[in-house]
Structure 1
Amino acid sequence: MTKTARLAGERPVLPDTAWRLTAAPLPHCESLRGNVETDVAVIGGGFMGMQAAITLREAGRHVIVIDAAEPGWGASGRNNGQVIPGFKWDPDELKSHLGEDTGERLAEFGGSAPDFVFDTIARHDIQCFPVRNGWIQPAYTATGVQRIQHRHAQWAARGAPVEMLETTTLPQVLGTSIFRAGWIDRRGGSINPLAYARGLAGVALKLGAQVHVYTPALGMKREGSTWSIECPGGKTVRARQVIVATAAYADDLVPGLRRSMVPVRTAQVATAPLPPKMLDTILPGRQCASDTRRLLTSFRISPDDRLVMGGSGATATLDHSSIVPRLHAAAAEMFGHLGPLEWDFAWSGYFAVTKDHIPHIHETADGVICALGCNGRGIAISSAIGSLLAQRLLGREANEMPLRPTPMKSFAFHAFRHLGVAVATRYHGMRDRIDARSR
């Protein structure tokens, strides 16, 4: 099977994103050159895979990471760079869905995930421009206002550093007057995600892990007490345990994994560096923000003073041409009063969506564990899950894990996922327009 077949149809070439301008180069890594053996093989070098490798190396395990492209090539290096606490579901919804104890433990895990990220950055001095001034969720409609009031109340009841923002000062906080209300969660923040991914790779290398780039896993089979992972050129990686951390770019390496989620593609756009007036007006406190619309829009200021907008639609194909104009229009609606915006970059990538919008860990065979489905909260959640996967292989009991292994379930009619994403996008857009008319 070819490299591109293992990358959801994409070429293994790093996209041209704004993050490349301020990210340090990837530390030197080579493709796999021969047959190797290890304690644990990690397939996928994004946030999850690298955090797993770091945790395993700190525990003394020998680790080899293989990536079909390079660390930061996939969703880890293409997102908006927002480190957001929690999941798509609020704590009370998690409790209702999963039960009192399990739901509360998972809510606590998600809420503390940004701590894990920023602590990792500080501990290893990762140069990724961390800013932890909070994450703001502004509401555009009456429905959205109710949603953030409930969300704020749930986190406030759990002692989180959150507050509702004053409506009268919200335009000064955001730089726009289109929103009706907003709340801030001070656990959140932002980073350069590509720099963070590369920084994690550097940490793993310094700790003694082997990291092999442009080395896709073509197949995997059990041979005695070890797993043999087939790579191009007849080379193999033999390991007693395997972590599969390919997320939205999952294939059939692990039977059923690809069909347990839907890869959804969203886009990011970035302006030229903004003039001083805009920089002083748009998010002057350098928080990051994501609104409450079903087809949400995220916005922040980059380390090199660009406005970076993300979201505003989705597709199940490689083409993001329909999303980019919506992002440009959203930016004009928010900040057009400050003058015209000059756009330098547009890029997109897949993230994994699960049926219940909760991440899942699966133990698919003896010594094989995988996880996916951060559903757009990937920086904080996938980082924390990476360490959790490693802890499981190191002997942590399943009933002690905040996110426990579950059986894998396939999406019904997965072959029609492209149509499903298109229909869902149109439906959510219609609902957003209806809500907007009730403002």
Structure 2
Amino acid sequence: MHNDTRSHGLWELTAPNAPATQVLRRTCRQDVAIVGGGYTGLSAALHLAEAGLKVSVLEAFEIGYGASGRNVGLVNAGLWMKPEDVKSSLGAPFGERVLQLLGNGPAEVWSLIDKHGIDCDAVRNGTLHCAVGASGLKDLKEREEQWQIRGAPVHLLNAEETAERTGTRAYSGSLLDTRAGTIQPLGYARGLARAAMAAGAKVYRSSPVTGAERSKGKRWTVRTEFGAVEADWIIVATDAYTNVPWPEIRREQISVPYFNFATKPLSRELQTSILPGREGCWDTREVLISYRLDRERRLVFGSVGALRGTGASIHRAWAIRAARKLFPQIGRVRFEAAWYGMIGMTRDHLPRFHRFAPRVVGICGYNGRGISPGTAFGRVLADHILGTVPDSDLPLPVSMPEVPRLRALQESYYAVGAQLAHFVGARI
């Protein structure tokens, strides 16, 4: 997008075409204005339009331009945190509410894909959280116990079972979550937009919001460069790619870069050896590795870091070494696409429900878990506006943005630390 091959990489090359959209060049009157054309905004637009409300989505660039079109494509259940950590951090009743909502998050994604015929290479064979060493296995055992108490279909696999599913003997075990799977993430975003438009929502591209003010009649006017939307409600759905007029969202988040490389399609022999079931994988390292296969059996291999400056060559060289170390059978590694994006991390790794002003709401801080949470939280925002989910039934407490301590220093730590880790990593 925007002539930058490192922004969306493989996903832009292989996604179905986006539905035809226009720049907003007039003033229109709607029930809801949604700022941001990613999973949250498009899910909310779809559910609101299906309920009969008039909705406009204002996207600054293109559908799925932010994290929705750049991520790995893992449709995970829950959050990065262990269930009991979520419960203790959020307290009652929110902890168990959000665990139930996001535990069922992949099912919401699969349901929308089936209902609207979204072409996004959905593979529902689960995901594997892979254990590095004894400490990693201990962590996964705790996760298994805490999810199984809640009736979730997660199972700890031993080293041999993990090797059979992944094609590498690098791990001491893995946690299989059969609720989860993989998709083509940009294809899913474009499919959500097409479904929302078919339901009556208006989706505008290249229409960045420049300001929003409330009239005495209590309606909001959301302005873009060439037009405006007058609406009763505003949903802010920009998360890590927020600019104006809600910069406090960006200040609240620690911005962490994440890159992916995609190989050429694997040979038939390697297809039976590396991820034969096409599960999506990531491991328990602090600077983690993720990998999965796409429709054409390309290996998509990623980790923390930005493909800019010295990072571009350092991370590429590491990815080649790491892929060959994990999968010796792969031979020479040749990448045909490379891209990266930003993850918005909050202080405690939990998402936030914000009410920025009367009838201006948003959920942000996905912490690297955007696909199913974005889909589910988009529906929650729609239900909140429709009145079926009052404040007392929200899955998250209402809060105002807060700036984490030493945010700039933490961002530098992730960016520079990832380069250092990858400069020396996978050399043995």
State the TM-score, normalizing by the size of structure 2. 0.93
Structure-1 separation of matches of 2:221 and 2:320: 47
* CA drift at 1:398: 1.4
Are 1:310 and 2:308 an aligned pair? Answer: no
Structure-1 separation of matches of 2:4 and 2:24: 18
Structure-2 separation of matches of 1:317 and 1:221: 37
Unaligned runs of 5+ in 2: none
Structure-2 separation of matches of 1:71 and 1:104: 32
Query: Which one of the candidate residues 361, 367, 385 is aligned to 1:375?
Result: 367
Sort the Cα spacing of 1:406 and 1:37 in 2 relative to 1 into closer, same or farther, 3 A.
Answer: same
* CA drift at 1:166: 3.1
Are 1:282 and 2:274 an aligned pair? Answer: yes
Greater CA drift, 375-384 or 403-412: 403-412
Q: Please list the CA deviations of residues 241-276 of structure 1 after superposition, one character each: whole Å capped at 9, or x if unmatched.
A: 101111111124125222111222110110011111
Q: Are 1:136 and 1:182, in contact at CA under 8 Å, matched by a contact in 2? A: yes
* CA drift at 1:419: 2.6
Structure-1 separation of matches of 2:234 and 2:120: 29
Structure-1 separation of matches of 2:91 and 2:225: 45
- 1:58 equivalent in structure 2: 50
- 1:5 equivalent in structure 2: none
Q: Are 1:228 and 1:238, in contact at CA under 8 Å, matched by a contact in 2? A: yes
- 1:296 equivalent in structure 2: 288
- 1:131 equivalent in structure 2: 123
- 2:223 equivalent in structure 1: 230
Q: Are 1:31 and 1:215, in contact at CA under 8 Å, matched by a contact in 2? A: yes
Structure-2 separation of matches of 1:255 and 1:169: 47
* CA drift at 1:415: 4.9
Greater CA drift, 109-118 or 315-324: 315-324
Query: Which one of the candidate residues 142, 146, 155 is aligned to 2:138?
Result: 146
Q: Please list the CA deviations of residues 222-244 of structure 1 after superposition, one character each: whole Å capped at 9, or x if unmatched.
A: 222211122113x2221111011
Structure-2 separation of matches of 1:368 and 1:336: 52
Structure-2 separation of matches of 1:181 and 1:91: 20
Structure-2 separation of matches of 1:318 and 1:214: 28
Q: Please list the CA deviations of residues 89-146 of structure 1 after superposition, one character each: whole Å capped at 9, or x if unmatched.
A: 1111112222243212221122111111111111111111111001111111211111
Structure-2 separation of matches of 1:341 and 1:255: 41
- 2:392 equivalent in structure 1: 399
| SS in structure 1 at match of 2:93 | helix
Q: Are 1:316 and 1:422, in contact at CA under 8 Å, matched by a contact in 2? A: no
Unaligned runs of 5+ in 1: 1-9
Are 1:245 and 2:237 an aligned pair? Answer: yes
Are 1:269 and 2:258 an aligned pair? Answer: no
Letter in 2 for 1:284: P
Structure-1 separation of matches of 2:60 and 2:157: 44
- 1:203 equivalent in structure 2: 195
Query: Which one of the candidate residues 375, 380, 384 is aligned to 1:388?
Result: 380
Sort the Cα spacing of 1:77 and 1:16 in 2 relative to 1 into closer, same or farther, 3 A.
Answer: closer
Structure-1 separation of matches of 2:159 and 2:406: 45
Task: Note the aligned Cα RMSD (angstroms).
Answer: 2.3
* CA drift at 1:314: 3.0
* CA drift at 1:404: 3.1
Sort the Cα spacing of 1:316 and 1:241 in 2 relative to 1 into closer, same or farther, 3 A.
Answer: farther
Q: Please list the CA deviations of residues 16-46 of structure 1 after superposition, one character each: whole Å capped at 9, or x if unmatched.
A: 5212333210011011121212110001000
* CA drift at 1:192: 0.5
Letter in 2 for 1:256: E
Query: Which one of the candidate residues 182, 194, 206 is aligned to 1:190?
Result: 182
Q: Are 1:13 and 1:73, in contact at CA under 8 Å, matched by a contact in 2? A: no
Sort the Cα spacing of 1:243 and 1:100 in 2 relative to 1 into closer, same or farther, 3 A.
Answer: closer
- 1:39 equivalent in structure 2: 31
State the TM-score, normalizing by the size of structure 1. 0.90
Letter in 1 for 2:148: A
* CA drift at 1:158: 1.5
Number of aligned residues: 421
| SS in structure 2 at match of 1:165 | strand
Q: Are 2:315 and 2:419, in contact at CA under 8 Å, matched by a contact in 1? A: no
Q: Are 2:255 and 2:411, in contact at CA under 8 Å, matched by a contact in 1? A: no
Structure-1 separation of matches of 2:70 and 2:309: 14
Letter in 1 for 2:333: L
Letter in 1 for 2:298: R
Letter in 2 for 1:404: P
Structure-1 separation of matches of 2:242 and 2:364: 9
Q: Are 1:317 and 1:418, in contact at CA under 8 Å, matched by a contact in 2? A: no
- 2:113 equivalent in structure 1: 121
